A and B are shown apart, each in its own frame.
Chain A
Amino acid sequence: MVKDGFTSKIKEISEQNPNLCMQCGTCSASCTGIGAMEELPRQVMRLLQLGKDKVLESPSIWMCTTCLTCTARCPRGIDIARVMEALRVVNLRQGNEVLVLEDIPLELLTEVPQMALTSGFRKLSA
């Protein structure tokens, strides 16, 4: 699979234009997952602007909780959560997943509400 033209694929799936981003960092400052990220959301947007396909391998895209705080606050009106989802979706459609049932501790698996399982697997599993 092709990483060629991946930015146009991301634009198509997210219906967002990363080039609108002015790198203010409001998304990073608002992000729930920032404490567990290497590239912050602002940097993810910059890598997309530069067409760097290594962004597809950034662990940061899997730390998103789709809480939509970045989307709510972006002064450029970019739905950043959709961009993050597009980056995950391109991975998931190639079978690259990060949440595997066997890796969830049994103590947690037996206690979590069902919605955690369905939402987690929808967002993080192929």
Chain B
Amino acid sequence: MAIPYFPGCTLKTKATGLDDSTRATLAALGLEVAELPEWTCCGTVYPLAQDNYMGKVAAARILINASKEDDGRLVTVCSFCYNVLKRVNHAIKNDEETRTKLTQFLEEEYAGETKLVHPLELLRDDVGFDTLQKKVNNKLKGIKVASYYGCMLSRPAAEMQFDEESENPTVMEDLVSAMGAEAVDFKYKTTCCGSYQVMKTYDLVVKKVREILEGAKAKGAQVIITSCPLCQFNLDWIQEKIAEEDSSFDKIPVLYFTQLLGVALDVPVEKLGLEKNYVDPKPLLQG
């Protein structure tokens, strides 16, 4: 039975590589997902103002629609979507006023029954890293990979409950090892890349991006993986800008974890959307 899947806006436009590679890799592992009918934008950011209920309506509608499917789960891979949907679900489940306001507005009965899952959790819990290890080729052998989680997957810990330690998640490193590559630990893995400030305080974001890139490279990383299209953009596009001004700058490809997994699973390269990456990962992956 197919698990309902929520791609989100960015995966249909700028980050088609994340959408394509997520679908292709899950399919290669026998996990069938089906796009949730009539989905809308999730709202992108969780409203932190106590009285902003409107900012939660879109996510609530998506969660309610998912609850009408048989599976009981909803899969989403974009870190922002995952964060908003999970936090709104948590609020509906645990805060009576939020639940009442949102369900009355939407004229639905819902108490947070939908279980939101990230593909990293599916790979760990449904496929299992031991099983995955037996299915991969050896194309990634010897490649050093830095796993960049950013902010949205694991914070706030009490609501996200993503991995064991919010400040030091390890599920992506475990995936890297299972894919046959070499996981490197680096201290910037849950720091923020600067996010939407790229449009307002650009220099700040360049500084954060440089810290993250240099931190990964200092540990010998040859590629960085992430699940967030905004982290991916900031870490990838800004490198091109840095390199225009500094010819000695060493670029490092920034991939979605699903793109790297696709290589390990022999998914045809045209299904991985690698052509949208600014720093070309092909020289590394063709070894």
Contact = CB atoms under 8 A, between A and B. Distances in A.
A119 B48 CA distance: 13
Given A65-B192, A69-B191, A116 B13 contact: no
The interface centre, meaning the residue of A13, A114, A118 with most chain B CB atoms within 10 A of its CB, is A114
Interface residues of B, number: 45
19 contacts: A63-B197, A63-B204, A66-B45, A69-B191, A89-B49, A98-B200, A99-B200, A113-B232, A116-B233, A118-B44, A119-B80, A120-B196, A120-B197, A120-B199, A122-B44, A122-B45, A122-B55, A123-B196, A124-B200
B51 interface: yes
Nearest to A62: B200
Contact of A65 (B8, B13, B196): B196
A122 B59 CA distance: 15
Interface in B119-137: none
A115 B10 contact: yes
Given A12-B50, A114-B9, A63 B201 contact: yes
Given A69-B191, A114-B10, A119 B50 contact: no
Interface residues of A, number: 41
Interface of A: 12-15, 32-33, 35-36, 62-63, 65-69, 71-72, 79, 81-82, 85-86, 89, 98-99, 104, 108-109, 111-120, 122-124
Contacts of A115: 8-10, 44, 78, 80, 229-230
A101 B159 CA distance: 33
Closest 7 CB pairs of A and B: A67-B192, A120-B196, A85-B48, A32-B192, A67-B151, A118-B44, A68-B155
Main secondary structure of the interface of A (DSSP, over half): helix
A36 B206 CA distance: 12
